[in-house]
């Protein structure tokens, strides 16, 4: 029997959920990390058609595993495709520059945006984090880098909690 190797996205998702849930148990908190169910290929294709752009490969893979995630590595909400479309339509009605950016996640004052005009030759798009109400930003090369950053932050938080 051949064991299939997990992708980097699969590994990070599993690690994020495991470390966050352990952190919650250690702190006496009720774990509320809730990865969404997988999006079907049909759901992804419908989203891409309605949104007017192709998802970058790393985010597409994530969505094919978890169509959204409540409390990902803490308070971050990664929006399911349906909610992303609803919010994009609302933004378009309000005349915002939704063609350049696409909201995929949020946490209190932070927003996680796909930078639609930044597709590289491999189809990946940069991620822009708007970190606070002052507009401080951080740019990441792709969605996998966001998961790496979340994992690093969560490990640091867990390490601090042990002290």
pLDDT at 83 over 80: yes
* Residue entry with tokens 């209190």: 108
In the structure encoding, which two tokens stand for residue 156, read together? 């640091």
Kindly list the domain boundaries of the chain, sorted by start residue.
8-162
55: tokens are: 């998802």
Task: Answer for the pair 102, 84: CB distance below 8 angstroms, yes or no.
Answer: yes
| pLDDT tens, residue by residue, 108-148 | 888 999 998 888 999 999 999 998 888 899 999 999 999 99
Name residue, tokens 């951080």.
Answer: 138
Q: CATH fold of 8-162, please?
A: SMI1/KNR4-like (3.40.1580)
Written as one string, the DSSP assignment of 71-115 is EETTTEEEPPHHHHHHHHHHHHHTT--TTTEEEEEEETTEEEEEE
What predicted TM-score, i.e. pTM, was given to this entire model?
0.89
Task: Report the DSSP beta bridge partners of residue 106.
Answer: 77, 111
**Least confident stretch, 3-7, 15-19, 75-79:** 3-7
Task: Give bridge partners of residue 111 from the DSSP assignment.
Answer: 106, 130
CA dihedral 152, 155, 160, 163 (to 10 degrees): -140
Q: Does the pLDDT at position 48 exceed 80?
A: yes
Looking up tokens 């399911």 gives 80
Compute the average pLDDT of residues 1-28.
85
């Amino acid at each position: 029997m051949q064991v299939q190797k997990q992708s980097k996205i699969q590994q990070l998702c599993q690690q994020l959920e495991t470390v966050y849930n352990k952190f919650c148990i250690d702190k006496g908190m009720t774990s509320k990390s809730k990865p969404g169910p997988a999006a079907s290929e049909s759901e992804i294709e419908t989203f891409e058609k309605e949104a007017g752009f192709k998802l970058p490969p790393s985010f597409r893979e994530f969505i094919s595993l978890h169509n959204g995630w409540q409390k990902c590595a803490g308070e971050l909400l990664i929006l399911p495709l349906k909610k992303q479309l609803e919010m994009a339509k609302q933004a378009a009605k309000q005349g915002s520059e939704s063609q350049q950016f696409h909201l995929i996640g949020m946490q209190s004052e932070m927003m996680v945006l796909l930078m639609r005009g930044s597709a590289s030759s491999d189809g990946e798009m940069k991620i822009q984090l708007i970190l606070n109400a002052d507009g401080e930003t951080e740019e990441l090369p792709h969605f996998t880098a966001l998961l790496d950053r979340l994992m690093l932050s969560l490990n640091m938080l867990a390490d601090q909690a042990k002290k």
